[in-house]
Every structure is written in C-alpha cells, then in structure tokens.
Amino acid sequence: MQPDTIDPSSGYRYYSAEQLLVVQRIIDLKNRGFTLEEIKSLLAEDVSPAEVKKSLTAKQLELQQFIEEAQSRLEEISSGLERIRDLDDPSPAVPIVIRNVKSQLVASIRDTIPRSHLCLLLDEIKQYVREHQEDDNRSLNVQWHNNDDEEDLIDVEVALPVAKPIPGSDRVNVHFWPELKQAASLVHWCDPYHSSCSALAELATWISSNGYRPSDAKPIREIYLTADQDLYGKLRRAELLIPIEKI
C-alpha cells in the first residue's frame, strides 16, 4: 500500500486515518488465514456480500480440514509415544525361553537376493497386502532358509500376517506358516540389513548348552517387533526363533 506521504529527509512513511483502517482490515484477514491475493479480492470496492460469504465459507472449510488433519497427526504421534514407551532402556535383559509358535495365515514372498535388498522385499510384501485392504503395520516375519554370513546371496522368505485369505500372485503366496512346536526365543535389538548378528551365535550357544539342537526340518524365523512407522534409527526390536529338538 502506498503511503499518503513520505518524509523526503527521513524516508518515514505516513498513512492517513483511512489507510490505517485498511491496514487493520488486512491484518485482521491475515489472522483469519487469508492470503494477500484473497485479501485483495475481499477489499475490492465492488465486492458483493455473496462473494464475501463464498470466500468466508471456503476459508472455513479449508481451516476445518487443516484442523482435522492436524488432529489426526497429533493422534498418530500420541500413539507412537505409546508404542515406544519401552525404548527408554534400549537393551533390557530378556531371558532366552523355549516357546510354541502357532500357525498363522500370511502373505509371503520367497526369493534369493543380496542381503542389502531385504528392505525392498519387505516393502514389496507390505505394498501387496495394503493393496488388498490388509493392515501392513502388522509384525513383519522373516524366515531365513540360509543364513550363512559368507554367502553373497540369501534365500529368504518375508511375510505379513493377514486377517483373511487374499488373492496370491506369481510372487506372493498366501498360506499358513507352519506351527513351531518348540523354538528357542531371544528378543534382541538388531539391524536386519547387516550381515552379522550376535544374537544368532548367542542363541545357538544356549541351545547346545541346554541339551537341544537346531531342527534341520524348519528354517530360522525372525519377527520384527518394531514396526516400520516406529523405526527411528537403524536398530529394531526383534524376536529370533530357532526351531529345536531334544538331543
């Protein structure tokens, strides 16, 4: 807005009383969320009451949508805080136990890949179940059909539990993962994309020291307890399961 006068020596701008009223109206409309372009239209001399009502109604709907989206984000943050409330101590002592793992319906993909591509496989199965209206935030499951750190490629199967049967595909198999009647379980923190994990050696030592041996009939299984939406660093909480049998 051009000032009424400008002091040539100081450069101070002086506005008339009428201009100050316009400035106040601009500030008021900005505080309501209007842009300068929208304000220009509302202050036009020929603006009609109908046009003003239309603009106010549109802004009302826009702000209401903003509030709803902000509320949704706030609720998600609150839920995230609830889900990670146990992360204050990142390495609680969890004893190794032997437990039964029930059979469950899953959508899975098995492939032989470089370990660095594991995240792509996990993302692929998540996207597939999401496209079939299933929750992709359920705990990711991985079966290591070979877990040799010396191998460049790994034979791995990734899976997500599903609540009901969904169509399979050339890549995706929808089936029941078999029950593990006895499995040694170790809850730990790990980087699933790193080739070395001390938990495997720790659990193997415990198995041999307690009169058991790994079962060759079933692969090692891992359940990622930290969901992708709650993963803030490289480490995630996981349960390592090695099927065992008594010696």
Cβ-contact 204, 214 below 8 angstroms = yes
The one-letter amino acid at 102 = K
* Residue 163 clears pLDDT 70, i.e. is over it: yes
Q: How confident is the model over 144-161, as a mean pLDDT?
A: 80
Backbone angles phi, psi at 154, to 5 degrees: -120, 140
Q: pTM of whole model > 0.85?
A: no
pLDDT of residue 197: 74
Label residues 66-78 b or e (16+ Cβ within 10 Å = b).
eeeeeeeeeeeee
Cβ-contact 121, 164 below 8 angstroms = no
Backbone angles phi, psi at 173, to 5 degrees: -110, 120
C-beta atoms surrounding 88 within 10 Å = 7
Burial class (CB in 10 A: 0-12, 13-18, 19+), 245: middle
Closest-CA residue to 178 (of 112, 109, 243): 243
Cβ-contact 155, 146 below 8 angstroms = yes
DSSP string for 57-111? HHHHHHHHHHHHHHHHHHHHHHHHHHHTGGGGSSS-----EEEEE--EEEEEEEE
- Split at pLDDT 50, 70, 90, the class of 21 is confident
pLDDT tens per residue across span 224-243: 987 776 767 777 888 999 99
Cβ-contact 194, 149 below 8 angstroms = no
pLDDT of residue 234: 75
pLDDT of residue 158: 96
Closest-CA residue to 231 (of 194, 196, 190, 199): 190
pLDDT tens per residue across span 62-111: 999 999 999 988 888 887 777 666 555 555 567 899 999 999 999 999 99
d(CA 212, CA 178): 20
**CA-based Rg of the chain, rounded to a whole angstrom?**
30
